[in-house]
Amino acid sequence: MAESPVTAAARTDSAVSIPTCHPADRVREYLDRGWWQPDTLPELLQRRVDTAPDAPAVTDPANLAALTGAQPQTLSWRELDERCTDLAAALYRNGIRQGDAVAVLLPNSIALTATYFALWRLGAVATPMPASYRRHELSGIVAAADATAIITTGELSGRELACEALEVAAGSRTVFAFGPAVPDNAIALDEPVDAADRERLRCYVGGLTVSVNDRVTICWTSGTEAAPKGIPRCHGDWLAMAWGVQDGLHLTPESVLLNPFPMVNMAGFAASFLPWLITGGHLVQHQPLDLPVFLGQIARHRVTHTSMPPALLTMLLHNEALRASADLSSLQRVGSGGAPLPPSVVRGWQDDLGIEVLNFFGSNEGVSLLGAPVDFPDPVIRAQYLPRYGAPGVRWATRLAESTRVKLVDVRTGAPVTEVGGIGELRLAGPAVFGGYLPGTATEPFDADGFLCSGDVFELCGEDGRYLRFVDRIKEIIIRGGMNIAPAEIEGLLADAPGVAEVAVVGYPDPVLGEKCCAFVVPEPGATVTLDGLVEHLRAREVASFKLPERLEIVDALPRNPVGKLLRRELRSTLIEDPV
């Protein structure tokens, strides 16, 4: 029999070899306060199976055959559970055990969904990465996580992923693969298991000791400026994050959730996968972002909830011809974040299309701020601000607000920022914050009081400082003649400038002022964008002169990493001082 999560939480790392994420006293506190629930991820899957066994649970991307050669499917909760059982039995038969780290290199799919549950049923740790990662990234992560195996697919968009994984494994690690074109030295995961395999699995799982503090994933930062950092997560902190997001999404068992973000880190896990798991409903997978496929899935499955990057929200709102060819009538709520939300776009989606846009701000380490419509009925306010958890006299929709401590700290002096209009680094502590980086991958980001130092700069805004407005990452601030410029602020103002499809602002060296601003712009089809036009657009909004861009570069696309984050360093590397 597995011991209760509360009892198991008290064990120490010295007593067992199973990796955990938080000190035992912190786990007890979170459980006692109700900030964590005594649930594990496999237990929640079983709850969904017991509640609605024959309801549709998960659907493959519509273009899966073009991606991997496998035919797309839809599974009920019962069928998903059976798939997970067979997969776990196959992994167990081939040596995967509790505490093992297993690298996962798969696109969003039923296979990826089932792989996670199979590993967690065994007590193993998934270390996922974007399917677009290649040998360089894969080898570094496998070594850092000390992974015992790699799970991938035979092919993906013409790449031989299993062969790449075998080269990284070099005979010292097992490679498992789904789909056709599985090479001889890899173990095919589409082959059936027998009753004896399932019985051996049942006996093994029945004898496991489990805890909500057991490590279940090692995700990786996006690596926009440096090597990725390993971020371990347990059942408890993942589910605390998931409930915080669900309080804004309002999913129900009848909801249909379309997930376009790679299910490898915070965006895919917390915004889609885990809210679906705790409430039920139908998860439709999508990846990579393919607009015709994406819009077709919304119409075909009558999708009620999804996520979109701000640029896609803007494009769909302004492209009436494209929107007219799509059926968005089933959509109720769309989550967005990762870049400034243009207020006019959020208002347009709500007023013109009747669809609410939620403002998400989060990080893999546990920053989680949610601008929900119930807290911000005015879409213009919702686009610009996020809740300041703990603001006196304010009750927010998400339960994370009750358990998360938040403060702003002046980045130069370290003094607390308490006055409206003050700017400082966001720091947090609470049940959704991770316990620390994987040893050897980064230094710890906590201050002397145990708060996570986010590296994000916010301004204290609104009545009694109840709102937070994102300014920028500390390291992205441009200093022009001693004046600080936040690229994110300028990008937000330029996002709805005429002819602009996407925009990024970076600093470039200047011998007199230190730095100046350059705007990189992807124009809308057929549009002409000029520096004078951008400056005029900003002046009309009464932006301070020192913030105005002094250089314009027109590009076909902005460089992004595999999870969609802007690679500013690549843009900066193309810039030199102003030509004489």
Rounded Cα gap, residues 569 and 572, in angstroms: 5
- Would you say 275 and 249 are in contact if contact means Cβ atoms under 8 Å apart? yes
554-579 in b/e burial notation, b at 16+ Cβ within 10 A? eeeebbbbbbbbbbbeebeeebeeee
For 351-431, strand residue ranges (E) read: 356-362, 368-371, 386-387, 405-409, 423-429
Instruction: Give the residues across from 70 on adjacent strands.
Output: none
Q: What is the pLDDT of residues 185-203, one digit of tens each?
A: 999 999 889 999 999 999 9
pLDDT of residue 484: 72
Give the torsion sign (CA, 142, 143, 147, 150).
positive
Domains and CATH numbers, the chain: 5-234 (3.40.50.980), 308-475 (3.40.50.12780), 477-573 (3.30.300.30)
pLDDT of residue 83: 97
Lowest mean pLDDT among 4-8, 201-205, 331-335, 566-570: 4-8
Rounded to the nearest integer, the mean pLDDT of the chain is: 90
Q: What is the pLDDT of residues 470-529, one digit of tens each?
A: 888 788 888 787 677 888 889 988 988 999 999 999 999 887 777 899 999 999 999 999
C-alpha distances (whole Å) from 552 to each of 266, 522, 577 are: 33, 11, 13
504 burial type by CB count under 10 A (0-12 exposed, 13-18 middle, 19+ buried)? buried
Please tell me whether residue 403 adopts helix, strand or coil conformation.
helix
pTM of the entire structure? 0.84
Q: What is the pLDDT of residues 414-456, one digit of tens each?
A: 999 999 999 999 999 999 999 999 998 889 999 999 999 998 9
pLDDT at 396 over 70: yes
Rounded Cα gap, residues 440 and 225, in angstroms: 18
The single-letter code of the amino acid at 486 is A
